[in-house]
Amino acid sequence: MFEKLYPTKENDSAYTIPYESLYALGKRGIIYDIDNTLVMHGAPADDRSRELFDKLRYIGFKTVLLSNNKEKRVKPFADDVGSEYVYKAGKPSKKGYEDAMKIMGTKPETTICIGDQLFTDIWGANRAGIETILTKPIDKKEEIQIVLKRKLEWFVLRAYHRKNKVKK
């Protein structure tokens, strides 16, 4: 029932993913959400995010930040970490994901999407045929509409964990 919302994998943080392993498996492009995946909502890039993107370039990855935010939020962050970006992406529409792959020159099988929300990041990537990694949100303080979505996400993740026999 909820399969289109299920992530391929889960990880505590975008900063602890074994990126070398993903590259060894043939992944060449990474699509990232920004807010609550890489930094707290609305925060600028920090040393940790800049170091991550430096590491990704060193490994050989291309990256795109995919955000529903306006360009004035996304561009400064992207410039600071040295990534391409798509703003006002319309997630979970698959168009933004397709645009991101076009920018990177990747295909669904060589791309992975990393984000903290099932109903935008994961669902949209799944619709585009891209593997996903769901991360825990960085900050528990969120806007009311996201808090309400998190309550619905809990039910979906419970079904996902039962299906995959994951203990949380």
**Cα–Cα distance between 97 and 137 in angstroms, integer?**
21
* pLDDT tens per residue, range 17-37: 999 999 999 999 999 999 999
141-151 burial, b at 16+ Cβ within 10 Å, e below that, comes to ebeeebeebbe
For 159, list phi and psi in degrees, rounded to 5: -65, -40
pLDDT tens by residue, 103-157: 999 999 999 999 998 889 999 999 999 999 999 998 776 565 666 666 667 766 7
Domains of the chain, start order = 3-163 (3.40.50.1000)
Percent of the chain with pLDDT over 70: 86
As a whole number of angstroms, the distance between CA 71 and CA 89 comes to 10
31-83, pLDDT tens digit by residue?
999 999 999 989 999 999 999 999 999 999 999 999 999 999 999 999 999 99
**pTM, full prediction:** 0.86
What is the band of 1 on the pLDDT scale with cuts at 50, 70, 90? low
> Any residues with CB less than 8 A from the CB of 58 and at least 6 apart, and which?
none
E strand spans, the chain: 9-11, 29-32, 62-66, 84-86, 111-115, 131-135
Tracing tokens 């391409």 back to the chain, one arrives at: 84
